[in-house]
Amino acid sequence: MSTPHLGVVGLGVMGRNLALNALDAGNDVSGTDLGEDAVRGFEQEAARPVTATTDIGAFLDALPRPRNILVMVPAGPPVDAVLGTLAPKLDEGDLVIDGGNSHFPDTQRRHDEMAQQGLHFFGMGVSGGEEGARLGPSMMPGGPKAPYARVAPVLEGMAAKVDGEPCVAHLGAGASGHYVKMVHNGIEYGLMQLLAEAYDLLKRGAGLGNQRMGDLFSQWNDGELRSYLVEITADILHHPYTVEVDPDEAPGDEAPPEGMTGRYLLDYILDTAAQKGTGKWTSQDALDLGVPTPTIDAAVTARYLSALKDERVAASDLLGDPAGRAPGDPEDLVDALGDALLAAFLVTYAQGFALLKRASDAYEFGLDLGTVARVWRGGCIIRADLLETFREAFRADEDLPNLLVAPVVAEKLIGHRGALRRAVGLGTQAGIPTPCLSTALAYLDAYRSAWLPANLVAAQRDYFGAHTFQRTDQDGTFHVQWEPAGL
Ligand SMILES: NC(=O)C1=CN([C@@H]2O[C@H](COP(=O)(O)OP(=O)(O)OC[C@H]3O[C@@H](n4cnc5c(N)ncnc54)[C@H](OP(=O)(O)O)[C@@H]3O)[C@@H](O)[C@H]2O)C=CC1
Ligand SMILES: O=C(CO)[C@H](O)[C@H](O)COP(=O)(O)O
């Protein structure tokens, strides 16, 4: 049997590291890129001889048939450009895997176009950043099932492992792989914003300094909240100012500027966060499918609000009423926050999985949500101990409509929701914005409400638009003349 092989198109940050990872895992690897520097860089870093060339023909000739080709170029037109170049030169049965953050409708179109040419196409989400790509990412391939067996040994060798299981699996049909990665990123946006809100509540609401805050996040990371994002938040809070900055540029011995807690790098980072679009796509498709994902939506909106720096500075002068300390003993807020975060994390994951469930039905992906939870346990940005709990929940009931009603999750929520309510209440009184903590609480309160005030909304629609309503005491649809007699 020949050595498993992989060809990589695009040797930038992700492609080069994935190619080196595949090589370390014992595969034969070839690489190509538009740039000579990228090609030479890969060749020099490779521990064994590789084919590395800017010549696409030489690259394809070096690959045994049927070929396995991983494309790692920027999402959008570059992917179509690469497929346009590759497709006429490929042979029937070759497999092309797009490992970038492509939008899932593009992936479905490419999947169909490639299939018409007798070629297999996977959209594959890859998570873990540069280090993950090199040492073990989480990978989310989707597309035709048959060619997966051929490439599985390559991907499983490269993937992160948890309890000996690789964080990769064939997830489903069509564009399912990129859909799952999109929702991964939507959850990522939600968790990141929740952590930012906890930081704000500790900093402005409780008056804590960076060292104590970092210690708290570390402490949380030793408990039920253990996760990559909590861990890196502790590292970021502890990170000193001077490490990556020219010492001549660092502030002198004078007191730190107003509002800053000391010489920590975080205090000098501009408060605007960019985005590339995957979080927005998650919210957009959730709205199209009618699935409530308010915590993810709020996180996307929070990034837009962060970008309005000049407007916010101007508004702070005009509108005043600055955020201040939370009422009462600051330690009450500190005590509440760990449990509040756990409840909000559970709600955010639940929204993402509920979206995956609906999308799987709507787009006929055939997702198994327990497998998704397994693949997310390691290597990816949203990896957390909680993923094992979710995997068990879906194992116990594969038709679970929402993680919130899995007994193991419900029990945790009942134990922690009081803290979420306290944290949101204290933050609100202090004037500190908590869009994700608040929407997580509101979603939880709405989802567990047997009755909601939508009867009034239904009546209002019927009043102004004759849209009809249903009744609780009679079958059928109804419309009435609502205007008071005599008007
Ligand atoms: N960076 C990250 O942490 C993560 C990125 N991703 C996704 O992975 C994909 C790649 O990202 P990343 O590696 O960071 O991007 P980079 O820009 O670092 O690398 C892309 C590489 O592709 C090359 N390239 C572009 N067009 C072609 C082409 N037609 N033929 C051959 N090579 C080409 C580029 O060459 P040149 O520079 O000469 O144009 C460049 O070397 C993106 O979709 C990204 O969203 C996913 C997860 C994490
Ligand atoms: O896919 C990723 C992590 O999972 C990439 O890092 C992505 O760029 C993150 O999204 P954004 O840039 O919008 O914050």
DSSP 8-state assignment for residue 480: -
| Count of domains observed in the chain | 3
Are residues 428 and 291 located together in one domain of the fold? Answer: yes
Are residues 19 and 148 located together in one domain of the fold? Answer: yes
Distance 193 CA to ligand 1 centre (A): 26
Whole-complex ipTM: 0.97
Q: Which residues line ligand 2 (CB under 6 A)?
A: 101, 127, 129, 185, 188, 275-276, 278-279, 381
Closest C-alpha to 150, from 57, 241, 69 = 69
Distance 164 CA to ligand 1 centre (A): 30
Beta bridge partners of 443: none
- What is the CATH number for 471? 1.20.5.320
Residue nearest to atom 2 of ligand 2 (CA): 127
Q: Is 276 annotated as a binding residue?
A: yes
Q: Is the CB of 10 inside a 6 Å radius of any atom of ligand 1?
A: yes
Residue 438 parent element (H or E): helix 435-447
Are residues 228 and 369 located together in one domain of the fold? Answer: yes
* Whether this model's pTM surpasses 0.90: yes
Question: Residue 172 contacts by C-beta under 8 Å, 6 or more apart in sequence?
Answer: 142, 180, 360, 365, 366, 367, 368
Are residues 108 and 126 located together in one domain of the fold? Answer: yes
Catalytic positions are 181, 188
pLDDT of residue 321: 74
Are residues 432 and 462 located together in one domain of the fold? Answer: no
Are residues 185 and 150 located together in one domain of the fold? Answer: no
Structure tokens at 49: 């001889």
Nearest atom in ligand 1 to the alpha carbon of residue 78 is 26
pLDDT of residue 243: 44
Which residue, 116, 140, 170, sits at the end of a domain?
170
Over residues 206-248, the pLDDT tens digits come to: 999 999 999 999 999 999 999 999 999 999 999 998 645 455 5
Structure tokens at 214: 């970092």
Residue nearest to atom 38 of ligand 1 (CA): 35
For a ligand 1 pocket test, name from 11, 14, 102, 281 the mutation site with the most ligand atoms within 8 angstroms of its C-beta.
14
Distance 308 CA to ligand 1 centre (A): 29
pLDDT of residue 318: 93
Are residues 215 and 140 located together in one domain of the fold? Answer: no
Q: How far is CA 242 from CA 177, 218, 233, 234, 254, in A?
A: 41, 22, 18, 17, 15
Residue pLDDT tens, the chain, 487 long: 578 899 999 999 999 999 999 999 999 999 999 999 999 999 999 999 999 999 999 999 999 999 999 999 999 999 999 999 999 999 999 999 999 999 999 999 999 999 999 999 999 999 999 999 999 999 999 999 999 999 999 999 999 999 999 999 999 999 999 999 999 999 999 999 999 999 999 999 999 999 999 999 999 999 999 999 999 999 999 999 864 545 555 555 555 555 555 689 999 999 999 999 999 999 999 999 999 999 999 999 999 999 999 999 999 999 987 778 999 999 999 999 999 999 999 999 999 999 999 999 999 999 999 999 999 999 999 999 999 999 999 999 999 999 999 999 999 999 999 999 999 999 999 999 999 999 999 999 999 999 999 999 999 999 999 999 999 999 999 999 999 976 5
User: Does the residue 279 lie in any domain?
Assistant: yes
For a ligand 1 pocket test, name from 11, 30, 34 the mutation site with the most ligand atoms within 8 angstroms of its C-beta.
34
Q: Is 226 annotated as a binding residue?
A: no
Are residues 104 and 24 located together in one domain of the fold? Answer: yes
DSSP 8-state assignment for residue 263: S
What DSSP assignment string belongs to 269-292? Answer: S-S-----SHHHHHHHHHHHHT--
Are residues 64 and 212 located together in one domain of the fold? Answer: no
Are residues 478 and 370 located together in one domain of the fold? Answer: no
Are residues 213 and 162 located together in one domain of the fold? Answer: no
Beta bridge partners of 6: 29
- What is the CATH number for 250? 1.10.1040.10
User: Does the residue 175 lie in any domain?
Assistant: no
Residue owning tokens 């502790």: 234
- Look up the domain containing 99 and give its range: 5-170
- What is the CATH number for 148? 3.40.50.720
